[in-house]
Structure 1
């Protein structure tokens, strides 16, 4: 019902921001020139930077899509965060022009001052412009609306509408239609039963009906639609998917005549995101395999010959993307024939030889897994793969455990970057780790991967107490 309004609001607000940026650029230039704060070079090409500001405005508009549902009711915190993103994009475009053209005539002080003034203007614009636009375009369209829904759904639906005043402008819910033997705890008046649809629409001069799909059969829905068409009344059907999923957030996808609902968003389902992540994996893994892995492998082999003769690598089957099995590579850190391979390593574990303890604490035993990254079985960052036996055990503790296999496993992960490493000694630790894994899957971004990698490098030099 609100899709067109949301898209229109995003477009119109984006246009107002672009106009604001351009007008402020011209105004700021005229102001600093008039007061003599900055002496402009005669050779500076202001039109080029004005054009760059227009292009940056288009990029800013694209960035509004992530705020489309909240645009119009942003708090100051959201307005500041959105403005920070917008200023970053405009700054990138302007200074890219400076670098590419090697322009020494434009004043950097002028550009920085402009960005500072624009930042304040954008915060105010993001806070106040969208509701003004919504009131102007939507508020005047009076739609007297009747809701046809089960009694238990009515109040929740009306509450949902009231939480979106910027998009619900002009929609006046005058009452609801439902079964007489199902009283609802609602402030709305019940106007009749489903047999009274025609009478209610005529008596109350309704121009829109909102119908819950859970309330009508296909035949009854056809009847309501015919009555609405005869009376020149809009009819929209809705489905409250939350009744099947509780309070957990869900994602709804529309494909032609079908609607699909899932419990979580998956950014890595997007092909472009997959390409970005794969390129980052290769860029990181290739230098490690070529430059770091060979000398480290020689050092580990020599120390093993001294302290714990045996195979250089310890290889095991693990579950990867979509629970496909693959062979993971690690430097061997335990003595050969130590037994109890499925038991997690604990603090002061006697099975670990001295140099192996150092490798584990510094996470250097994981370096061979960059081979797994190049082979495509793993990613540099993602949920850590556990032993197959532990997968089954942990799945009994955390119901949604196997959802972590929606993405490739990683050498490091969000949980590890937060210090959750080593032995899982109690269920609460497992739940926290899996919670971070699920957060990673839902909110993946290239910047999140870079943050995880940076934190992991820091842990190599300053390992957490749980690393052993």
Structure 2
């Protein structure tokens, strides 16, 4: 695939009059830059089990750095005569062609494996437990992955032995071996590793029942000592944090200018006509890393002493007629884009709770505070997954935390985009718990 990409970036050069002094130097520089970036980003090492969102993310990263490298060429090689507009068109064309080629190839390979049964990898499983059985079920139902499960060995059987496994693997030309760590002894695991190494078989293991290895671990080296961290947070990386902050500023500024600038006076008049009190409701909520901030909303209730303690519930008598409408359409949340612009919140993130609720749930729900490792958001993964609004049972808050932790550990700009789009769709369709 790298050959096709290089053909694209070279051939497209001749479409636009870039006015490069030494075209061949530029071609060499372009190809070198592309391959260097690809090696660093793992652009060509994506596995068949990776979903399309990871593929799209890699394309954006690859093209983003490639763009920076090409614009750096102008200054480094002193090319003041380069037509920058044509260079921009060249990069957009390259992006379009590379994106199309990559996605089409991904789809065609999936169909090739699922329908024509090509590019298949034969696998065996050693051990039987819930996780292993679930994995094999995925292999059997997701035919697009191209894994053919040939045999599952039951380690509890009297006839089981690693030697019989080895014979079967060699005889049936098995490509990958999956084993459950909890069913083999250390000696058996070492023997299995040696067999895989000596016979060029790929070996994968399923984490044990302690669940510690099922977390998203970060692998580091201190001199020659390997160390595992229990949680890797993408937004701890300065580049990711910068990207998210720029997105937040631009998105919130657009909403403030294009929506709030004219909507606020209309909502203010409607609120004032129906009930006495301020237009905006400010409530202290839990923010990033135990911080506290004032979260803004359009006031949707009559002024009451329980506003900072009691969460809105279905058929809540405190909610006004205007309030019912703006809560149903999520218009009441729009002032929080001001919070986003000034850095207290993000467009997407775990929803912030009242201080009293944070105190209560941090004692009641395991790992509740993990959601505070990133800034809270106007919308979030939990909200678009059906866990917005009133917390009616322990199940609601437990699932909300589960989705929030997944977001914290797996953040990407593409995920943010998907959540925003789903939020808009839900707002138009209406939600049962939007009250």
Using the size of structure 2 for normalisation, the TM-score is: 0.62
The separation in 2 between residues aligned to 1:409 and 1:246, in whole angstroms, is: 27
Which of 412, 416, 421 is equivalent to 1:445?
A: 412
Aligned to 1:100: 87
Which of 259, 262, 281 is equivalent to 1:292?
A: 259
Aligned to 1:251: 218
**1:299: Cα distance to partner?**
1.8
The separation in 2 between residues aligned to 1:112 and 1:441, in whole angstroms, is: 27
1:114-193 equivalent positions in 2, closer than 5 A:
155-156=185-186, 158-159=188-189, 162=192, 168-169=197-198
Aligned to 2:286: 319
Aligned to 2:134: none
Are residue 351 (structure 1) and residue 331 (structure 2) matched?
no
1:235-314 equivalent positions in 2, closer than 5 A:
246-249=212-215, 250-256=217-223, 261-314=228-281
Aligned to 1:62: 40
The separation in 2 between residues aligned to 1:393 and 1:314, in whole angstroms, is: 23
Contact 1:362 1:460 in 2 (8 A): yes
Contact 1:79 1:127 in 2 (8 A): no
The separation in 1 between residues aligned to 2:190 and 2:244, in whole angstroms, is: 37
The separation in 1 between residues aligned to 2:99 and 2:287, in whole angstroms, is: 48
More moved, 255-264 vs 431-440: 255-264
Aligned to 1:364: 331
Aligned to 1:458: 425
Aligned to 2:154: none
**Structure of higher CA gyration radius:** 1
Are residue 380 (structure 1) and residue 347 (structure 2) matched?
yes
Pairwise CA RMSD: 4.8
The separation in 2 between residues aligned to 1:112 and 1:339, in whole angstroms, is: 53
Contact 1:332 1:356 in 2 (8 A): yes
Aligned to 2:399: 432
SS of structure 1 residue aligned to 2:378: strand
Cα distance 1:118–1:257, how it changes in 2: closer, same or farther (>3 A)?
closer
Are residue 389 (structure 1) and residue 360 (structure 2) matched?
no
The separation in 1 between residues aligned to 2:366 and 2:103, in whole angstroms, is: 49
User: Deviation digits for residues 222-241 of structure 1, max 9, x if unmatched?
Assistant: xxxxxxxxxxxxxxxxxxx9
1:195-206 equivalent positions in 2, closer than 5 A:
none
Contact 2:248 2:340 in 1 (8 A): yes
- What are the ranges of 5 or more consecutive residues in structure 2 without an aligned counterpart? 71-83, 122-181, 202-206
The separation in 1 between residues aligned to 2:404 and 2:100, in whole angstroms, is: 42
Contact 1:342 1:387 in 2 (8 A): yes
**1:319: Cα distance to partner?**
1.2
The separation in 2 between residues aligned to 1:319 and 1:116, in whole angstroms, is: 41
User: Deviation digits for residues 108-160 of structure 1, max 9, x if unmatched?
Assistant: xx9999879976799999989xxxxxxxxxxxxxxxxxxxxxxx997257538
Aligned to 1:339: 306
SS of structure 2 residue aligned to 1:328: strand
Cα distance 1:279–1:245, how it changes in 2: closer, same or farther (>3 A)?
same
Contact 2:43 2:62 in 1 (8 A): no
The separation in 2 between residues aligned to 1:165 and 1:83, in whole angstroms, is: 33
Contact 1:60 1:86 in 2 (8 A): no
Contact 1:362 1:459 in 2 (8 A): no
User: Deviation digits for residues 258-305 of structure 1, max 9, x if unmatched?
Assistant: 765432220000011111010000001112223322332222221122
- What are the ranges of 5 or more consecutive residues in structure 1 without an aligned counterpart? 1-16, 30-39, 129-151, 173-240
SS of structure 1 residue aligned to 2:255: helix
Contact 2:283 2:308 in 1 (8 A): no
More moved, 278-287 vs 305-314: 305-314
Using the size of structure 1 for normalisation, the TM-score is: 0.58
Q: Number of residues paired by the alignment?
A: 336
**1:399: Cα distance to partner?**
0.8
The separation in 2 between residues aligned to 1:313 and 1:113, in whole angstroms, is: 47
The separation in 1 between residues aligned to 2:243 and 2:200, in whole angstroms, is: 43
Cα distance 1:452–1:156, how it changes in 2: closer, same or farther (>3 A)?
farther
